[in-house]
Structure 1
Amino acid sequence: MFRRKMYDVLLDWKSRSQGRTAMLVEGARRVGKSTVVEEFARREYRSYILVYFAEASRDVRELFDDVSDLDYLFLQLQLRYSARLFDGESLIIFDEVQMCPRVRQAVKQLVRDGRYDYIETGSLVLIHRNTRDILIPSDEERARMRPMDLEEFLWARGGDATVPLLRQAFASRRPLGERLSRKLMRDFRLYMLVGGMPQAVDALLRTNDLLAVDDVKRVIVDLYEEDMHKISLSDKLPVNLGMVYENVVAQELTAHGRRLFYHTWPKPGTTRNYKIDFIVPDGKKVSPVEVKSSNYRTHASPDAFCGKYSSRVGRRYLVYTKDLDRDGAVDCIPTYMSAFL
């Protein structure tokens, strides 16, 4: 299993909650929710039961229609899954919980019983739609799991020290040198090509073949299209490197807890707009971020933004494909450091 940051989130929940809440790990399909939760159960508990509702029998689903007799419920689960549960030392996993909405309604009673811990996993596209008529428990915490970010991708390839060292360089604003920066940009572009889906990363490590990686991603895309069949999907996507770089920077910011904000306003005397790709907090101020898919350092929009809101602006950032640098008042940041903004 790949090292994932969600594991640390679950460790913190277990230590802090002490069984007083259940945890719902929600996210898109194939981001690794089930894998990390089962690995967590295997390492951190004396025993566990995994109820996979995508394949569970009707009898198992019907167990949760009436949870007034929990002794009977737990006995049935232990017999059906050939696993023994221990008070205060066992975990029950409800995998793909959106397939059995009654389970989420039962969580409140299960948690208050206090015998075991509970983790649910669910796919974002379906979980909210399938629980419209269900009373969602207040005894439930939620954690959003996303595809592997750049740091997790580098961990998978053996680069455990890379991101901490980059964070030091970012904090000191010291350039890394053209040769090293080119190497890091190659790593970042490989991450862009492969993406953060664990199966695609696994295909890269096993085969070192981007065609094999592409085959894996096509299967995942087909699954997504099945989930979103009610949404009109266009047959063609124009190749726009600017859009690709903006999206991967958005993923990095989101993976590190940043909410995504942007800003547009009209250019005087024209029909076009100024556009700030991202706005990030900077103490009591905000910092505009412009993303470039090349090494160009033009930054008309951030300059205009700073002129318009000068008293509210902290640092100014240009994210591009070259080494750390400074252009006047603008910090030029290589794309592989975008997570530190």
Structure 2
Amino acid sequence: MNYLLRKADTFLKDWIKNPDRYPLIIKGARQVGKTETIREFAKTHYKNLIEINFITEPSYKSIIAEGFSTDSIIRLISRIDPSKHFEPNETLIFFDEIQDFPEIATSLKFFKEDGKYDVICSGSLLGVQYHRIASISVGYKTDYQMHSMDFEEFLWAKGYTAEVIEDMLAHMLSGKAFSDAEHNIYSNLFLEYCILGGMPAIVSNYIKKGTFEGSLALQRQLLTDYENDIIKYADGLDKAKILNVYRSIPAQLAKENKKFQYSKVAKGGRSKDYMGCVDWLKDAGLINVCDCLQFPELPLKGNICENKFKIYISDTGLLVSSLDDESQVDLRANKNLGVYKGALYENFAAEAFIKQGYGLFYYSKENSTLEEDFFIRSTNELIPIEVKSNTNRAKSMNQLIKSDTYPDIRHGIKFTVGNIGINENIVTFPYFCTFLLKKYMSQQKIFA
């Protein structure tokens, strides 16, 4: 398949330009494109790529038998496979699936000190083992988090240029509405992306065929692979409970109140019964957790309710694929989001914010209808963000902005099916602009 351009490509190009670069650890869930991205990078920047996968080639776990020095590791690699060619300053060593062999991280210090070879490590469930990997490579690594493709990368895959995306941003900054033709095209592309998600193999299959044929089967196979990973790697935790938490998320998001409830996982379920399950899924990159604020004010961190949160699936396409068959027909044939409309758009927004580096926070006032989907901050402001599945007025947002009770809040942002608009202190954007929020915030003049 043709290689799909990724934002990680730019990161890797910047990394290799640094003469004092450290060994790199690329984290990310299964199938987000880590291996293909590293291989493509190696093609254009090195004469030799030494790729070792500790799952498919477990014999390489013996390469530290004589210690962690660069020379001894290279010697033992070449003993296992004499065809591997090591040329100083022209060779990338790629250790893949290191969650199966975290001990190799100790060698990063020695590779850095030796300086003759670049090293990149990666793994599908690296986050789960990362506390161990970080402790044995502290000070001798650079970390990079890789996600599935965002909407901008999807647009690249569909042939849209950087100029098109800059024009979308220009509309946001100027407040100028999109033409009907533009709005229709981008809205349809956005729906395609919501249904497919950002897994490169699934996107590539769609672009190659021009239809959704085979996409659902690929997505459901990936969900099965994720569940198998839980069974394989969830050491010391109740694997059945982790699976049950993961499987309960679509139904929890379909509720009017999307707060995650353990009682919806199992009858009578309580948080103490599921200690560590949510953290495991988050570390594995399978979910995004949105924390509830105690009060909508700055600072955000240190202002959260410990046991009150929402959970989103890390890739909206996988959420779509977990829905029932009738919903699949509606979605893929008619592009009708049905009763899941609010849940899917909210999940997409959470995914887009995480991919831009934002944390996830929401607010729900006890014994009140006051609730806000998300919050971000500018230099001096707390900014509520509402994701509306319709074009109704944002009552909670208006209340937060106008009330003297919330002095940190003076403006709001709303994402809807509609067009760009500014009404008093609320800026409205179409859903398909969500991926540009951070760029917009860095250049806009409205917020403090």
The separation in 2 between residues aligned to 1:69 and 1:286, in whole angstroms, is 50
1:129, distance to aligned residue in structure 2 (A):
6.7
Structure 1, unmatched stretches of 5+, are: none
Larger RCO (alpha carbons 8 Å, 6+ apart):
1
Q: Where in structure 2 are the equivalents of 1:120-159 lying within 5 Å?
A: 120-124=121-125, 127-128=128-129, 131=132, 135-159=136-160
Assess if the C-alpha contact under 8 Å between 2:99 and 2:126 holds in 1: no
Assess if the C-alpha contact under 8 Å between 2:99 and 2:123 holds in 1: yes
1:70, distance to aligned residue in structure 2 (A):
3.2
Equivalent position to 2:217, from 215, 218, 223: 215
Assess if the C-alpha contact under 8 Å between 2:54 and 2:97 holds in 1: yes
Amino acid across the alignment from 2:189: D
The separation in 2 between residues aligned to 1:242 and 1:330, in whole angstroms, is 20
The separation in 1 between residues aligned to 2:150 and 2:69, in whole angstroms, is 43
Amino acid across the alignment from 2:64: F
1:81, distance to aligned residue in structure 2 (A):
6.1
Q: Where in structure 2 are the equivalents of 1:1-341 lying within 5 Å?
A: 1-16=3-18, 18-58=19-59, 60-78=60-78, 80=81, 82-124=83-125, 127-128=128-129, 131=132, 135-160=136-161, 161-229=163-231, 230=239, 231-233=242-244, 234=247, 237=251, 238=254, 239-266=339-366, 271-294=367-390, 296-306=391-401, 307-308=403-404, 311-341=407-437
The separation in 2 between residues aligned to 1:106 and 1:72, in whole angstroms, is 10
Report how many residues are paired.
Answer: 334
The separation in 1 between residues aligned to 2:140 and 2:420, in whole angstroms, is 46
The separation in 2 between residues aligned to 1:185 and 1:133, in whole angstroms, is 42
Equivalent position SS for 1:184: helix
1:39, distance to aligned residue in structure 2 (A):
0.9
Most deviating of 230-239 and 204-213? 230-239
The separation in 2 between residues aligned to 1:140 and 1:95, in whole angstroms, is 15
Assess if the C-alpha contact under 8 Å between 1:27 and 1:146 holds in 2: yes
The separation in 2 between residues aligned to 1:190 and 1:305, in whole angstroms, is 34
Equivalent position SS for 2:383: strand
Q: Deviations over 1:27-75 (max 9, x none)?
A: 00000000001111111112120111111142x2111243355323213
Amino acid across the alignment from 1:62: S
1:172, distance to aligned residue in structure 2 (A):
0.8
Label 1:134 to 1:101 Cα distance change in 2 as closer, same or farther (>3 A). farther
1:310, distance to aligned residue in structure 2 (A):
5.0
RMSD over aligned Cα atoms = 2.2
Amino acid across the alignment from 2:197: G
Equivalent position SS for 2:385: strand
Amino acid across the alignment from 2:398: D
Assess if the C-alpha contact under 8 Å between 1:104 and 1:137 holds in 2: no
Q: Deviations over 1:223-254 (max 9, x none)?
A: 11112241132477345221110111111122
Equivalent position SS for 1:152: helix
Most deviating of 146-155 and 168-177? 168-177
Most deviating of 147-156 and 285-294? 285-294
1:330, distance to aligned residue in structure 2 (A):
1.2
Structure 2, unmatched stretches of 5+, are: 232-238, 255-338, 438-448
Runs of 4+ in 1 over 6 A off after TM superposition: none
The separation in 1 between residues aligned to 2:69 and 2:180, in whole angstroms, is 67
Equivalent position SS for 2:121: strand
Name the TM-score, length of structure 2 as normaliser. Answer: 0.70
Amino acid across the alignment from 1:317: I
The separation in 2 between residues aligned to 1:119 and 1:67, in whole angstroms, is 19
Equivalent position SS for 2:148: coil
1:340, distance to aligned residue in structure 2 (A):
2.5
Assess if the C-alpha contact under 8 Å between 1:19 and 1:114 holds in 2: no
Label 1:199 to 1:133 Cα distance change in 2 as closer, same or farther (>3 A). closer
Assess if the C-alpha contact under 8 Å between 1:203 and 1:216 holds in 2: no
The separation in 2 between residues aligned to 1:133 and 1:254, in whole angstroms, is 22
Equivalent position SS for 2:361: coil
Assess if the C-alpha contact under 8 Å between 2:25 and 2:121 holds in 1: yes
The separation in 1 between residues aligned to 2:218 and 2:414, in whole angstroms, is 34
Amino acid across the alignment from 2:178: L
Label 1:133 to 1:182 Cα distance change in 2 as closer, same or farther (>3 A). closer
Amino acid across the alignment from 1:64: I
